[in-house]
Amino acid sequence: MVLAKKQINKENLLSEGVQLLMQQGYHGTGLKEILDAVQIPKGSFYNYFSSKESYAAEVIQHYINPFIEQLDSHLQNPELDALTALNNYFNELIVELEKAEFKGGCLLGNLMGEIGDTSDLCQKSLQLAVNRYKDLLATGLKKAQMEGTARIDKSADDMADLLVNTWQGALLRMKIEQSAEPIKQCCNDLLGDYFRV
């Protein structure tokens, strides 16, 4: 019972961390604010995490997990070819970003810019999250190559890298332009054209 409550508290802390770090950034978010939001006493924080930095590193993994599950779900759909599955996944993300009125963007991209080169622990967590995501995209692109819908003169890994890099840049432009056009262009140009046979 105590273990279950501790796990629930930890999940709540991580979920709240995603929201606050997305809205306010790492430096703009205080521990007291996080703890108050989930109604956990200040001294209890260290029962769950050794430091704010280790907390942020876990928040990063907590943040990427649903995206990986969502992407994997699309790729596992037996009714879709892999390139269509990738397109559908990114189109879903675009709809969600439009509903959120382009606020937030991507926590990974935000933290890469803010603390990616100042915190070794968070840098490693960001690398792990990006690589987990990129590897799954590469799996989908390899499948598309086997299905004959994706070009084979470029490796699936290189195309996945290009997709991640372009998507992150497009998300930043989306935020400053308050428009879905940069992210739509990213998907149309890569998934709809450059990656195709």
pLDDT in tens, 46-79: 999 999 999 999 999 999 999 999 999 999 999 9
> 94 near 184, Cβ under 8 Å?
yes
Interacting residues of 188 by C-beta distance below 8 A, sequence separation 6+: none
In this structure, of 49-58, 64-73, 100-109, 182-191, the range with the lowest mean pLDDT score is: 100-109
**pLDDT band, very low/low/confident/very high, at 6 (cuts 50, 70, 90):** confident
Residue 6 lies inside a defined structural domain of this protein: no
Please state the domain count of the chain.
1
Residue 37 lies inside a defined structural domain of this protein: no
**pLDDT band, very low/low/confident/very high, at 4 (cuts 50, 70, 90):** confident
**pLDDT band, very low/low/confident/very high, at 1 (cuts 50, 70, 90):** low
Residue 15 lies inside a defined structural domain of this protein: no
Residue 12 lies inside a defined structural domain of this protein: no
- The CATH code of the domain that includes 104 is 1.10.357.10
CA nearest to 112, candidates 25, 12, 47: 25
Residue 188 lies inside a defined structural domain of this protein: yes
pLDDT of residue 157: 98
Give the structural domain span for 82.
51-194
Residue 176 lies inside a defined structural domain of this protein: yes
In this prediction, residues 84-107 reach a mean pLDDT of 95
Residue 36 lies inside a defined structural domain of this protein: no
Alpha helices in 39-155 (DSSP H): 45-48, 52-75, 82-99, 107-115, 120-147
pTM above threshold 0.85: yes
Residue 23 lies inside a defined structural domain of this protein: no
Spatial distance between the Cα atoms of 166 and 187, rounded to a whole number of angstroms: 9
Spatial distance between the Cα atoms of 170 and 23, rounded to a whole number of angstroms: 19
